[in-house]
A and B are shown apart, each in its own frame.
Chain A
């Protein structure tokens, strides 16, 4: 269902890997669809394709084997010749990409990534970072929520996500090396704003992710030091920090694998999720 101002588009990014971007993207996409009744599009622009695997599970193998359309085709602008068609064909959006779930009124769709995504862009003459934004503006204005899972390194993919997003969600793990991503991200966003003054992009918030943190929910002096640094850097950049942290739980990796035998504290992801949705007006 179309919103008055178009979909709320959020890119989930931190220029440090392993902070939970894909897990958070997958869980927010699912939760937005199931509990907020939103029409959702998830986009994976990380060549590691963890979001794609976390939403598609075993179907991702068939996706690879069948050479089904992906983010590669979005940047290419067409579907290449295949077994069924010896000529290139246009991208027909609603039927082209993966449907994870649907009801009569809405769906949770996914534009998956592939591990050859970077190779493909590097092979292009002049990859255009505005391609994704143009594609979304022409084809997915009916969505309520678009979530873009970004790669952890600065590249044209990062710029493409910025062009397509009005909001940024920054997950951070409360440990020293993870916080080093903050100044890098701050610089990245500032550079983008300076070069694209017509774009409006702001950080919706920083979320502290204890999910994979070895210190659990109470990591002692090291976590306290890291949290102080997170607060200081966030304040320096003018980024709000979400009040609710994501709890430590062995349930998160299980959920991303598609194993629902144990959730544990992962069920409390909902508390942060509700705060996040409120913050972006959903």
Chain B
């Protein structure tokens, strides 16, 4: 079974053989520029000087997107957390998040590509939901006992029984 890269190369070769390199490149440029402004960012990629595809970070994708004001700030905060792996740290997390939003995600090979898919769903959310996402640790990855233990201990210090035990 062909992998994705081989399939893509075969398809491109067919197009180039039929229409030539220049016509295919022009048609691709037209398609990208006629899409919605967000789509340019949502392709998640940038052609380097050698023509090789370079996937953009989440933050770079948002900076290229047509977003303004507070909404742009919210998306930038989410993107920065995503890049630091403090929001949906694995592709599996992104997939689960999208499923919980009622989507049926496909075709995510790595996190940068996954952010492109994620963005299409996030863009539909109202500002208050985005604000909740920015403020929650619900999607920040696996739990660890240490911080939980500290949180339980801190809460326990407020209980009268605990203070009594400490003075015994």
Contacts and interface: CB of A to CB of B under 8 A. Distances in A.
A57 B155 contact: no
A119 B95 CA distance: 40
A119 B161 contact: yes
B39 interface: no
Interface stretch (A15-23, A126-134, A233-241, A258-266): A258-266
A114 to B, nearest CB: 8
Contact of B152 (A34, A64, A100): A64
Contacts of A258: 141-143
B150 to A, nearest CB: 8
A273 B96 CA distance: 18
Interface residues of B, number: 26
Contact of B142 (A60, A65, A114, A259): A259
Contacts of B143: 53, 57-58, 60, 257-258
A101 interface: yes
A40 B144 CA distance: 27
A65 B136 contact: no
A66 to B, nearest CB: 10
A103 B101 contact: yes
A59 B96 CA distance: 17
Contact of B92 (A34, A61, A257, A260): A260
Residue among B90, B138, B151, B159 facing the most chain A CB atoms (10 A cut-off): B138
A60 B159 CA distance: 19
B101 A62 contact: no
Contacts of A65: 151, 154-155
A101 B101 contact: yes
Contact of A61 (B100, B148, B159, B161): B148
B93 interface: yes
Contacts, number: 70
In this complex, the interface size class of chain A, counting residues with CB under 8 Å from chain B, is: 20 to 34
Interface in A107-128: 108, 114-116, 119
Nearest to A57: B143
B137 A62 contact: yes
B107 interface: no
B141 A58 contact: yes
A56 interface: yes
Contacts of B151: 60-61, 64-65
Q: Which 10 A-B pairs have the closest CB atoms?
A: A260-B92, A101-B100, A259-B142, A58-B137, A61-B151, A103-B102, A59-B138, A59-B137, A258-B142, A64-B151
Given A57-B142, A119-B161, A260-B95, 19 more contacts: A34-B99, A53-B148, A57-B138, A57-B143, A58-B137, A58-B143, A61-B148, A62-B136, A64-B151, A64-B152, A101-B101, A108-B100, A115-B155, A116-B156, A254-B142, A259-B141, A260-B92, A260-B93, A261-B90
Interface of A: 33-34, 53, 56-62, 64-65, 100-101, 103, 108, 114-116, 119, 254, 257-261
Interface of B: 90, 92-93, 95-96, 99-102, 136-138, 140-143, 147-148, 150-152, 154-156, 159, 161
